[in-house]
């Protein structure tokens, strides 16, 4: 391995300051469904975001991506799957991580607890606390390239999202329809 010594200016391009993060309330096809309203902040890499305009703070992802998710009580992400491992870590509040074709299995996790879902499992999460809370999601492997990977949504979630007028096109980006 070649050892490099980046300048301070070069390293500043690799810093994501929380107070400067740009978020999206419509980063995924499920976000118009009331129970899945949430704020998405791409910290490192685009990850699997379906909002093509939500740029990450740090673009050099190299096989992993970090996203922050903020949600009001009772809100979170719908059942979805990835071709990679996905890790959820609550930063604040109490969260439920759930999984299965109907989302009928569930474990509650507290700040700094970690749950790791294997590839190909429908999973979701929701804030089960009393206040707005933050969660970190980490996705590994090839899905974190600048072009982003793709999410596989549970069929019932796609049906609900289509009723809101929001779809994912063939390129994996959100569109009205």
The whole-number pLDDT of residue 146 equals 44
Is 136 part of any domain? Answer: yes
Distances (CA, A) of 114 to 111, 150, 171: 9, 23, 31
On whether residue 110 sits in a domain, the answer given is yes
Residue 2 lies in a domain: no
Q: Which domain holds residue 155?
A: 17-172
The answer to whether position 10 is within a domain reads no
Query: Percentage of residues in the chain with pLDDT exceeding 90?
Result: 76
Instruction: Answer yes or no: are the C-beta atoms of 59 and 65 closer than 8 Å.
Output: no
Is position 47 within any domain?
A: yes
User: What pTM was estimated for this model as a whole?
Assistant: 0.92
CB 94 within 8 A of CB 75: no
Digit-coded pLDDT (tens) for 6-22 = 999 999 999 999 999 99
CATH number at residue 81: 2.60.120.10
Domain count, the chain: 1
Q: What is the mean pLDDT of the chain?
A: 92
Residue 97 lies in a domain: yes
């Amino acid at each position: 391995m070649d050892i490099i010594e980046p300048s301070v200016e070069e390293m500043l391009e690799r810093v994501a300051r929380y107070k400067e993060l740009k978020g999206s309330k419509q980063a995924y096809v499920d976000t118009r469904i009331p129970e899945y309203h949430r704020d998405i902040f791409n910290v490192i890499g685009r990850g699997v975001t379906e909002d093509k305009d939500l740029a990450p703070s740090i673009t050099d992802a190299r096989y992993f991506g970090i996203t922050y998710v903020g949600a009001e009580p009772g809100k979170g992400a719908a059942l979805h799957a990835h071709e990679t491992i996905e890790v959820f870590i609550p930063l604040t509040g109490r969260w439920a991580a759930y999984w299965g074709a109907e989302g009928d299995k569930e474990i509650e996790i507290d700040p700094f607890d970690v749950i790791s879902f294997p590839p190909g499992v429908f999973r979701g999460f929701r804030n089960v606390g009393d206040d707005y809370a933050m969660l970190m999601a980490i996705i590994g492997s090839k899905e974190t390239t600048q072009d982003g990977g793709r999410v596989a949504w549970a069929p019932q979630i796609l049906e609900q999202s289509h009723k809101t007028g929001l779809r994912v096109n063939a390129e994996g980006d959100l569109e009205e329809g």
